[in-house]
A and B are shown apart, each in its own frame.
Chain A
Amino acid sequence: MSLLEVTGLGVRSADGRDLISDLSFTVDAGSRFGLIGESGSGKSLTALAIMGLLPPGMTASGSVALDVPGMGRTEIVGARERLLNRLRGRAASVVFQEPLTALDPLMRIGHQVAEPLRRAQGLRGQALREAVTTALEEVRLAEPDRIARAYPHEISGGQRQRVAIAMALACRPALLIADEPTTALDVTVQAEVLALLDGLVSARSMALLFIGHDLAVVSGITDHVLILKDGTAVESGALLDVVNAPRHPYARELVSSARELDAALNGLDGGGRS
Chain B
Amino acid sequence: MSAEQALIGAPDEQEAQAAPRHVSRSVTLTIGCVLVGVIVLVAVVSLFWVPFAPEDTSGRRLMPPGLPHLLGTDKLGRDLLTQLMIGARIALAAGAGSVVLGGVIGVAAGLAAGFATRWLDDVVSALLDILIAFPTLLLAMLVAATRAASLTSAIVAIGLAMSAIVARLTRVLVKRVLAHDFITAARTSGTSWPRVVLEHVLPNIWPTVSVNLALQFGLAVLAEASLSYLGLGAPPPNASWGRMLQEAQASVFIAPVGVIAPGVLIVVLVIGVNLVADGFRDVADPTRRRRR
Report how far A138 CA is from B192 CA in the complex, Å. Answer: 27
A101 touches B189 (CB 8 A): no
**A102-B117 contact given A53-B188, A89-B189, A151-B286, CB 8 Å threshold:** no
Is the C-beta of A156 less than 8 angstroms from some C-beta in chain B? yes
Is the C-beta of A170 less than 8 angstroms from some C-beta in chain B? yes
Which residues in B have their C-beta under 8 angstroms from that of A116?
189-191
Interface size counted on chain B using CB atoms at 8 A: 27
A184 touches B1 (CB 8 A): yes
**A106-B188 contact given A96-B181, A153-B4, CB 8 Å threshold:** no
A53 touches B187 (CB 8 A): yes
Other-chain contact of A101, B180, B199, B287 (Cβ < 8 Å)? B180
Is the C-beta of A167 less than 8 angstroms from some C-beta in chain B? yes
Which residues in B have their C-beta under 8 angstroms from that of A157?
1, 4
Interface size class of A (residues with CB under 8 A): 35 or more
Segment of A25-33, A80-88, A238-246, A260-268 engaged in the interface with chain B: A80-88
Is the C-beta of A200 less than 8 angstroms from some C-beta in chain B? no
Is the C-beta of A94 less than 8 angstroms from some C-beta in chain B? yes
Report how far A125 CA is from B190 CA in the complex, Å. Answer: 21
Which residues in A have their C-beta under 8 angstroms from that of B4?
153, 157
A89 touches B117 (CB 8 A): no
Residues of B171-195 whose CB lies within 8 A of A: 180-182, 184-192
List the A residue with the shortest CB-CB distance to B285: A106
Least Cβ distance of B188 to chain A in Å? 4
Is the C-beta of A22 less than 8 angstroms from some C-beta in chain B? no
Other-chain contact of B190, A14, A48, A56, A86 (Cβ < 8 Å)? A86
Residues of A128-187 whose CB lies within 8 A of B: 151, 153-154, 156-157, 164, 167-168, 170-171, 184
A119 touches B186 (CB 8 A): no
Residues of B113-133 whose CB lies within 8 A of A: 117-118
Report how far A105 CA is from B185 CA in the complex, Å. Answer: 13
Report how far A148 CA is from B31 CA in the complex, Å. Answer: 36
Which residues in B have their C-beta under 8 angstroms from that of A48?
184
Which residues in A have their C-beta under 8 angstroms from that of B181?
96-98, 101-102
Residues of A59-103 whose CB lies within 8 A of B: 85-90, 92-94, 96-98, 100-103
A89 touches B287 (CB 8 A): no
Is the C-beta of A57 less than 8 angstroms from some C-beta in chain B? yes
Report how far A56 CA is from B115 CA in the complex, Å. Answer: 10
Which residues in A have their C-beta under 8 angstroms from that of B26?
none
List the A residue with the shortest CB-CB distance to B289: A151
The proximity string for B residues 13-37 relative to A, scoring 1 for CB distances below 8 Å and 0 otherwise, is 0000000000000000000000000
Report how far A229 CA is from B199 CA in the complex, Å. Answer: 38
Is the C-beta of A104 less than 8 angstroms from some C-beta in chain B? yes
A93 touches B189 (CB 8 A): yes
List the B residue with the shortest CB-CB distance to A156: B5
The proximity string for B residues 130-166 relative to A, scoring 1 for CB distances below 8 Å and 0 otherwise, is 0000000000000000000000000000000000000
The proximity string for B residues 238-256 relative to A, scoring 1 for CB distances below 8 Å and 0 otherwise, is 0000000000000000000
Other-chain contact of A115, B184, B186, B187, B286 (Cβ < 8 Å)? B186
B1 touches A100 (CB 8 A): yes
Is the C-beta of B200 less than 8 angstroms from some C-beta in chain A? yes
B5 touches A88 (CB 8 A): no
List the B residue with the shortest CB-CB distance to A107: B203
Report how far A87 CA is from B199 CA in the complex, Å. Answer: 20
B204 touches A105 (CB 8 A): yes
Other-chain contact of B189, A56, A107, A171 (Cβ < 8 Å)? A171
Which residues in A have their C-beta under 8 angstroms from that of B191?
85, 115-116, 119
Other-chain contact of A89, B5, B180, B190, B200 (Cβ < 8 Å)? B190
Is the C-beta of A197 less than 8 angstroms from some C-beta in chain B? no
Which residues in A have their C-beta under 8 angstroms from that of B286?
106, 151
Report how far A100 CA is from B291 CA in the complex, Å. Answer: 19
Residues on B lying within 8 angstroms of A by beta carbon are: 1, 4-5, 8, 117-118, 180-182, 184-192, 199-200, 203-204, 207, 285-287, 291
- In addition to A48-B184, A53-B187, A88-B189, 19 A-B residue pairs with Cβ atoms within 8 Å of each other are A14-B118, A56-B117, A87-B190, A89-B189, A89-B190, A94-B185, A94-B188, A96-B184, A100-B1, A102-B181, A103-B182, A115-B191, A116-B190, A119-B191, A151-B286, A157-B1, A168-B188, A170-B189, A171-B190
Query: Can you name 12 A-B pairs with beta carbons within 8 Å?
Result: A53-B184, A56-B118, A88-B189, A89-B188, A89-B190, A102-B185, A104-B204, A106-B203, A120-B190, A151-B287, A156-B8, A184-B1
What are the nearest 6 A-B pairs in CB distance?
A89-B190, A88-B190, A89-B189, A101-B181, A102-B181, A94-B188
